[in-house]
Amino acid sequence: MLSNNKSAVFILAAGRSSRFNSSTSKIFHDLCGQPVVNYVLDVARFFAYDYNSIISVISKDSPEIADTVCVRQKDALGTGDAFRSALFRLLGQQGSLCTGPVTIDAEQRALANNASSSLFIEKKRTSSEMALVLYGDAPLITTESIQLLFEAKKKNPEAAIVILAMYPENPSGYGRIKEKNGKVTEIVECKNASSEEKLIPLCNSGILLIDINVAEKLCPLLKKNDLSGEYYLTDIVRLATDNSYSVISVEAPANELCGINTRAELSHAHDILQKRFREKALQRCATLYGKDTIFLSYDTVVERDVTIHSNVCIGPGVHIHEGAEILPFSYICNATIGEHCSIGPFALISGNTVLHNRSTAGSFVEIKRSSVGPRSKVKHLSYIGDSCIGSNVNIGAGVVTANYDGHSKHKTVIGNNAFIGCNSSLIAPIEVGETSIIGAGSVITKNVPSKSLSLSRPEQKVVPLKTSSKHLSRKK
């Protein structure tokens, strides 16, 4: 099992989020295009055996975390109780875990405390089976850092617990790791640490790898902290050393291990992720001008020779193909940008829009839920919604596809090689045939056949001004 770096994975996510002062739990706040907890889920899926081996612990009124087996904590009694609840759920099901959430009440918690409980022990396990503990509010963790835990375990097979440790610039608030002869002896929570212990630079991230058999034996021994009235998972380290189990630590970068407890920390996590996303784009040989003003999303795909200028924001679901150029102050979300396309400046592209190779969406253009064919141009001040535009089409300035009648959205279809004159309105549903021309300033309400000119303008009249006209006599 360990050779494949697979384990059961526990995600502790039952915190109150009190410092966020929000009606939404902090783990479901948006972070670069997806909820905070989804970053942790990505790591969990990489190391878990399967869906049923990812156990998330959530509060009694929290939404479920998708693609995990959810355990609800009826009472928020700390990380130790959360882990124990999840472990009880894992070991009490004989491999047949159901998908619905379960509330751990006092009676079930008492069963978990009883090490001889048949419900708690029935599942037969191998001696190498491990549990990885992650936190729903720690989204910056990478698979590379988690690999360090498994590598340390392989080098030290006798270790029952491997802790991910760090040296943060500001250790305030973090538990301190006490070591002796290369082994961890205890983790002291910051609020319980003495002045001397607070000088220890090595801090606990909370993330750890633990032998499931050892966890099963030690969890019933956890006791409430006298000051907080909570069960601390960190106490399991002291219990392990007291019972002659080996505990070691391995260091990982501190900027991957910080949790999110406040809006300021959410903003800080956003900045760190943006640096990662930009670096990934640069490694793929994209050019970023004013890169600190360019914002990407967790799933943005940027191919080589793409050029992105300053003050561009890219939301979720965007793939930018080779050679495309995104000019300043543009926003793209849920869209595919083809090879050698030109976007912006000040363009808005969204709603699963596809811009095919060498097409253009120019300045102050909005395109939504549409397809723009190869080499077609929407150059200036136009709105294109719910439209299918063929190849080599020219859309003049100020063109609007009027797609909404107040009740439903309707589609506009424009054939290959068509020319739509400036300030025209196409009232959907409507089709404009291939190689047709729409005269400037027209309001088109009926289908236009191929190879034709369509106009709808009032007749222009010319009336000479009288010499007594106020217009002629006005001051210059």
- Residue 347's closest CA among 321, 322, 372, 365? 365
Q: Is 137 labelled a binding residue?
A: yes
Decide: 143 and 43 in contact? Cβ < 8 Å. yes
Q: Is 433 labelled a binding residue?
A: no
Q: Is 235 labelled a binding residue?
A: no
CA 173, CA 98: separation in Å to the nearest integer?
37
Q: Is 298 labelled a binding residue?
A: no
CA 72, CA 103: separation in Å to the nearest integer?
4
Q: Is 261 labelled a binding residue?
A: yes
Q: DSSP character for 4? A: G
Decide: 259 and 137 in contact? Cβ < 8 Å. yes
CA 57, CA 61: separation in Å to the nearest integer?
12
Q: Is 383 labelled a binding residue?
A: yes
Q: Is 435 labelled a binding residue?
A: no
Decide: 152 and 162 in contact? Cβ < 8 Å. yes
Q: Is 39 labelled a binding residue?
A: no
Q: Is 394 labelled a binding residue?
A: yes
Q: Which tokens is 185 given?
A: 């002896």
Q: Is 86 labelled a binding residue?
A: no
Q: DSSP character for 465? A: P
Q: Is 242 labelled a binding residue?
A: no
Q: Is 152 labelled a binding residue?
A: no
Upstream peptide bond of 63 is cis (omega within 30 degrees of 0): no
- Residue 79's closest CA among 138, 6, 121? 138
In terms of Cβ atoms closer than 10 Å to its own Cβ (0-12, 13-18, 19+), residue 407 is exposed
Q: Is 368 labelled a binding residue?
A: yes
Q: Is 440 labelled a binding residue?
A: yes
Decide: 300 and 282 in contact? Cβ < 8 Å. no
In terms of Cβ atoms closer than 10 Å to its own Cβ (0-12, 13-18, 19+), residue 429 is middle
Determine whether 270 is an active site residue.
Answer: no
Q: Is 136 labelled a binding residue?
A: yes
Per annotation, catalytic residue among 29, 268, 270, 380: 380
CA 312, CA 329: separation in Å to the nearest integer?
5
Q: Is 114 labelled a binding residue?
A: no
Q: Is 26 labelled a binding residue?
A: yes
CA 381, CA 461: separation in Å to the nearest integer?
28
Q: Is 167 labelled a binding residue?
A: no
Q: Which amino acid, residue 144?
A: E
| In the block, residue with structure tokens 């949790």 | 259
- Residue 85's closest CA among 93, 101, 97, 73? 73
Angle between helices 79-91 and 106-113 (to 10 degrees): 80
Residue 91 neighbours by CB distance under 10 Å: 21
Decide: 357 and 376 in contact? Cβ < 8 Å. no
CA 243, CA 280: separation in Å to the nearest integer?
46
| DSSP β-ladder status, 419-420 and 130-135 | unpaired
Q: Is 457 labelled a binding residue?
A: yes
Bridge partners, 444 (sequence order)? 426
| Measured CA angle at 254 (ends 252, 256), to 5 deg | 80
Known binding-site residues equal 12-15, 26, 73, 78-79, 135-137, 175, 189, 204, 261, 368, 383, 394, 397, 403-404, 440, 457
Catalytic residue IDs: 380
Known binding-site residues for acetyl-CoA equal 397, 403-404, 440, 457
Known binding-site residues for UDP-N-acetyl-alpha-D-glucosamine equal 12-15, 26, 73, 78-79, 135-137, 175, 189, 204, 261, 368, 383, 394
Known binding-site residues for Mg(2+) equal 137, 261
